[in-house]
Amino acid sequence: GAGVSQSPSNKVTEKGKDVELRCDPISGHTALYWYRQSLGQGLEFLIYFQGNSAPDKSGLPSDRFSAERTGGSVSTLTIQRTQQEDSAVYLCASSFGGGKETQYFGPGTRLLVL
C-alpha cells in the first residue's frame, strides 16, 4: 500500500500561534514515531506510540508540544504558542511491530515560524 504520509507538507505560521501536524502511518503498522530535523542537525526523537499509547515522550522539548494517536492509526503533533526555534522539518515514521523493526519515514512537514 501507500507509504507514510504527512500533512501539510509546508506550514508557515506566526509566532504565538498553534499548529497541528498530521501523520498517516502505513496501514497495519502499530508503532509510530515523531522526529524533528533542524537545519544542519541530526534527527531528534520526539515521541513514540505503540498503538494509541505513548510509552516514551522523553524527546518532547517542552510542554508546548503534545501528540496523540487515535484508532491505532493517524497521529497529530500539536505545537502551542509556536516560537521561532520551533522552525524545523517534522518527520513521522512507522514500523510494523515496534521492537527492532525497520522504520519507514514520511516526507516531513516543513514548519516555519515567523
Partner 1 sequence: SQKIEQNSEALNIQEGKTATLTCNYTNYSPAYLQWYRQDPGRGPVFLLLIRENEKEKRKERLKVTFDTTLKQSLFHITASQPADSATYLCALDGSNSGYSTLTFGKGTMLLVSP
Residues that bind partner 1 (CB under 8 A): 4, 31, 33, 35, 40-43, 45, 48, 50, 55-56, 91, 93, 95, 98-108
Environment class of 71 (CB within 10 Å of its CB; exposed 0-12, middle 13-18, buried 19+): exposed
C-alpha cell at 31: 508503532
**92 vs 71: CA distance, rounded Å:** 17
DSSP annotation string for 11-25: EEE-TT--EEEEEEP
**Minimum distance from CB of 65 to partner 1 (Å)?**
17
**Minimum distance from CB of 68 to partner 1 (Å)?**
18
**Minimum distance from CB of 55 to partner 1 (Å)?**
7
Beta carbon nearer to partner 1, 19 or 92:
92
Beta carbon nearer to partner 1, 33 or 79:
33
**Minimum distance from CB of 77 to partner 1 (Å)?**
15
Beta carbon nearer to partner 1, 59 or 80:
59
Environment class of 91 (CB within 10 Å of its CB; exposed 0-12, middle 13-18, buried 19+): buried
